[in-house]
Chains A and B, each alone.
Chain A
Amino acid sequence: MMDEEASDNADGHKRHSHVWTPPLEIEARVRALESLLVEKGLTTHDAIDTLIAAFENDLGPMHGARVVAKAWSDPAYRTRLSDDATAAIEELGYRGLQTEHVAALFNTKTDHHMWVCTLCSCYPWTLLGIPPVWFKSPAYRAKVVSHPREVLKDFGVTLDPAVTIHVWDTSAEQRYIVIPERPAGTDSMSEEELARLVTRDSMIGTGFPLDPRPVGP
């Protein structure tokens, strides 16, 4: 390995023998960070386990979906959500890190909302969980502010050309949630059934809720 020639690896990136150092696998680097922080008394393994378990098992779009379903079925709640989304979300027991300041964006027949964090990856963890890779990707962050319809095409979504798109860039500690329009044919559905139609992407604005009508000829 000492005299490894400059070569292209699988990603097409150059490696040069004279600057070659043993590859430190990323996993080893994370273990080193954690083990040193624990050793110095700054954190504990059980705390990190607890946080991971919360992100993997508890925080997620099912929370946001409950908010949307309630806004669809309870006009008084919808008004409260519009007036002070942070308080309305807390009524359902939802508050937490990265979800301290929330505004609800209501889609209508004429206006469609989408949100992004162009500078990093700000996202309401309590309501939607860990952001998907595409949300954090340079491609989405670069494109959605100038070509939102092109982004929707990437998601297989077409919007009536007459609809005005509003993109919200969450560049501070304010977070957003889109309240999509209630799908047709859901009049008799309970809040619980409605919540199952609400997709994560419909709360970001890159998708719509599921269509409740059975697929058929």
Chain B
Amino acid sequence: MNGIHDIGGRHGLGPVIPEVNEPPFHAAWEGRMHGIAVACQVSGINNSPEHRSAVEQLPYATYLHNSYYENWVFAFEALLVRKGVVTSAELRRRASELSPVAMQDHPHEPTNLSEYASKLKAVLYRGAPQDRPISRRPKFQPGDPVRTLNLNSCRHSRLPGYVRDKTGVVALYHGAHCHAEAQAEGHGELPEHLYAVRFTAYSLWGPDAEAGAPTVCVDLFEDYLQAV
């Protein structure tokens, strides 16, 4: 979707501001929101593309005004309501009913983990690989010139706007991965070949490209590409 999240190449967003000795989370609720999101994903309540898609659907002003984890909270509420896991009324009521006890900073791992918690922890350290077998052979190989399609889906997409309808060269073949679009739409695992495609800065930005002939490599699914 052509949303505000698709921000590569936009101007006017100000300088990048690094923070010295930055903690993983800046408040207890950020850590809990992160934990909730990982728990939901590992427990199969939602997948990562659904999470990303929910963030992308936030209104532009909200997306830019909120902090990163505020966007996760807003998106998760919407996602879980859409999936019928909770209702908006339940969320509102619960938030107003809960007594305002300070949230505990830096929780410890409990000494006796439940079977469920052990399972989640195991997945955190084992991962959930996204590569899958595929019967079709890859159409392209490193070195092949390709052109990206001019796609403007209103749904979740991993084809950034700044590389649409551009010509590049396949730099790497990553194997076949579950297509993020099918996962975001609840269509399950649809393997598709995945490549890193290299574009010259000039091909993306024309005469306004930064001096020094940089290149940009973008990971793209095969169905975003055509032969040149």
A→B interface (CB under 8 Å): 11, 13, 22, 24, 26-37, 40, 42-44, 46-56, 60, 95-101, 103, 116, 118-121, 126, 129-130, 132-134, 136-151, 154-155, 161, 163-174, 201, 206
Q: Is the CB of A42 within 8 A of B6?
A: no
A130→B24 contact, CB < 8 A: yes
Whether the pair A172, B174 counts as a contact (CB closer than 8 A) is: yes
CB-based contact A173/B18 at 8 Å: no
**Cβ–Cβ contact A26 & B29, under 8 A:** yes
Most buried by A among B27, B80, B127: B127
**Chain B residues within 8 Å of A35, by CB:** 94, 98
Question: What residues of A have a CB within 8 angstroms of the CB of B73 in the complex?
Answer: 26, 29-30, 33
**Which of B85, B95, B209 is the one whose CB lies under 8 Å from A24?**
B95
Residues of B near A172 (CB, < 8 A) are 130, 158, 174, 177, 180, 194, 219-221
Interface presence of B182 (CB below 8 A): no
User: Among residues 22 to 68 in chain B, which have CB atoms less than 8 Å away from a CB atom of chain A?
Assistant: 22-29, 31-36, 38-40, 42-43, 45, 48, 52, 55-56, 64-65, 68
Residues of B near A119 (CB, < 8 A) are 5-6, 8, 52, 56, 158, 160
Q: Are B125 and A121 in contact (CB under 8 A)?
A: no
B114 at the interface (CB under 8 A from A): yes
Q: Do B45 and A42 touch across chains, with their CB atoms under 8 A apart?
A: yes
Q: Is B149 an interface residue (CB 8 A)?
A: no
A156 to B180, alpha carbons, bound, how many Å?
36
Q: Are B16 and A143 in contact (CB under 8 A)?
A: yes
Given known contacts A33-B91, A46-B113, is B24 in contact with A151 (CB within 8 Å)? no
- A96 to chain B minimum Cβ distance, whole angstroms, is 5
Residues of A within 8 A of B33 (CB): 30, 33
B128 CB to nearest A CB, Å: 6
In the assembly, what is the distance between CA of A48 and CA of B106, in Å? 11
CB distance A48 to B24 under 8 Å?
no
Contacts of A132 in B (CB 8 A): 18-19, 22
Interface check B225, CB cutoff 8 A: no
**CB nearest to A99 among chain B residues:** B127
User: A51 to B205, alpha carbons, bound, how many Å?
Assistant: 42
Q: Which 7 A-B pairs have the closest CB atoms?
A: A118-B8, A32-B94, A48-B35, A47-B117, A130-B24, A49-B107, A32-B95
In the assembled complex, 22 residue pairs joining A and B whose CB atoms fall closer than 8 Å, in A order, are A24-B92, A26-B73, A31-B32, A36-B94, A42-B85, A43-B36, A47-B117, A51-B38, A53-B109, A55-B25, A55-B34, A97-B38, A98-B127, A100-B127, A133-B19, A145-B216, A146-B204, A146-B210, A155-B16, A172-B177, A206-B16, A206-B18
Residues of B within 8 A of A151 (CB): 16
Chain B residue nearest to A170 in the complex (CB) = B219
Are A150 and B116 in contact, with the CB atoms below 8 A?
no
Smallest Cβ distance from B209 to chain A, in angstroms? 7
Is the C-beta of B227 less than 8 angstroms from some C-beta in chain A? no
B residues less than 8 Å from A141 (CB atoms): 7-8
Contacts of A60 in B (CB 8 A): 24
Known A46-B110, A55-B34, A165-B214; judge A30-B8 contact (CB<8 A).
no
Q: How many angstroms from the CA of A202 to the CA of B76 in the assembled complex?
A: 33
Whether the Cβ atoms of B121 and A54 lie closer than 8 Å is yes
Q: How far apart are A150's CB and chain B's nearest CB, in angstroms? A: 7
Q: In the complex, what residues of A have CB within 8 A of residue B106's CB? A: 52-53, 56
Nearest chain A CB to B172 CB, angstrom units: 7
Interface residues of B in 108-133 (CB under 8 A from A): 108-110, 113-114, 116-117, 120-121, 123-131
